[in-house]
Amino acid sequence: MSACRRRAWLAWLATAAGASGLLLPGAARAGRQAEEPLADAVRGALSAAIASAAPPKLVFTNLDERLAFLRWQGAMSERLKRRKSEAHTRLEFLETLWYESRRAGLEPALVLGLIQVESGFRKYAISSAGARGYMQVMPFWARLIGDGEPARLFHMQTNLRFGCVILRHYLDLERGDLFMALGRYNGSRGKPDYPNAVLANRQQWMP
């Protein structure tokens, strides 16, 4: 993306977010994440990144960190209430999302914004392209870096881990360019609709 185009995009996004002109999930055009060849080293690293199926175990270095997480979880739970009515389900989802996003070096608000656009927080969502679950992971990822069973992509932690690891992979490919990484995640690299929708919706999930 040229510097001029990037400045124009960032200016538009700031204006939209500041005016609360949020783009709803339907505003983003449906895409198809592309299956791309992976070098053996990359495939191995991604497979290792998604390998552990153990439940998330939150570790805090001090009491302030733990309190900050609990405040975040409580605030996000209130915002999520109309999409997930059962309190335990909301808290478990948010704990897992926080763990997986932080594990992948991603901002939790970004992952929440992406899920809002991708699936509207529907655990069993399936797109016309066959993408599955909260983060709409394409089944080919189960074959490339998982155990080859796409049905597991409906499992909450598995879906969040795959989605976060894949987005991290695309960010690394795009040298930290979030606009291009989000487009690649959606299968619409270089087009503005999808990244604009995710980043506008991210504003709802900022602490």
10-59: per-residue pLDDT in tens? 444 444 433 333 434 433 344 577 787 777 778 888 888 888 666 678 88
CATH for 133: 1.10.530
Mean pLDDT of the chain, nearest integer: 85
- Please report, as a single letter, which amino acid is at residue 69: F
pLDDT at 36: 77
Q: Give the structural domain span for 57.
A: 37-205
CA 83, CA 90: separation in Å to the nearest integer? Answer: 9
pLDDT at 147: 85
b/e map of 81-90 (b: 16 or more CB within 10 Å)?
A: eeebeeeeeb
Asked if residue 184 is part of any domain, the answer here is: yes
Asked if residue 15 is part of any domain, the answer here is: no
DSSP 56: P
Mean pLDDT over residues 94-99, rounded?
Answer: 96
Asked if residue 59 is part of any domain, the answer here is: yes
Asked if residue 30 is part of any domain, the answer here is: no
Mean pLDDT over residues 84-93, rounded?
Answer: 96
For 141-176, the pLDDT digits (tens) are: 999 888 888 999 999 999 999 999 999 999 999 999
Mean pLDDT over residues 196-205, rounded?
Answer: 96
pLDDT at 1: 52
